[in-house]
Amino acid sequence: GESVGLHLPTLSVQEGDNSIINCAYSNSASDYFIWYKQESGKGPQFIIDIRSNMDKRQGQRVTVLLNKTVKHLSLQIAATQPGDSAVYFCAENSGGSNYKLTFGKGTLLTVNP
């Protein structure tokens, strides 16, 4: 079946380094993608999104890249800070009138001071 998955379940980086979190998706019909951050004991928090007519989108310290050819999504965090430590999820929507987001299982990012 269709699924969204992550290449790495855990990622440990040094404070100040750049972080890259990857996500593979298999539904070629997906046309909207979101990255969420979830801190321990809290709900998922929207970080950035991208639609399939784009291949890059930038926010504050974050960039999402979409490669439709290989069905790959990545989240880049610049100058990673201890407050960035969390689980990061990618989610996809297969478009049209489909209201359902399919979530990946998450990557735990740990930032070492």
Partner 1 sequence: NAGVTQTPKFQVLKTGQSMTLQCAQDMNHNSMYWYRQDPGMGLRLIYYSASEGTTDKGEVPNGYNVSRLNKREFSLRLESAAPSQTSVYFCASGWGATDTQYFGPGTRLTVL
Pairing of strands 107-112, 10-14: parallel
Least CB distance to partner 1 at residue 20 (A):
20
Provide CB contacts within 8 A for 18, sequence distance 6+.
76, 77, 78, 79, 80
Q: Is there binding between residue 59 and partner 1 (CB under 8 A)?
A: no
Q: Which stretch binds partner 1 (CB under 8 A): 15-23, 40-48, 58-66, 72-80?
A: 40-48
The C-alpha atoms of residue 67 and residue 29 are separated, in whole angstroms, by 13
| DSSP secondary structure letters along 86-112 | EEEEEEEE--TT---EEE---EEEEEE
Q: Which of 53, 70, 96, 113 binds partner 1 (CB under 8 A)?
A: 96
Q: Which of 11, 34, 64, 86 binds partner 1 (CB under 8 A)?
A: 34
Q: Is there binding between residue 44 and partner 1 (CB under 8 A)?
A: yes
Q: Which of 18, 28, 81, 98 binds partner 1 (CB under 8 A)?
A: 98
Q: Three-state DSSP class for 84?
A: helix
Summarize as ranges the residues that interact with partner 1 (CB under 8 A): 31-32, 34, 36, 41-46, 49, 51, 89, 91, 93, 95-101, 103-106
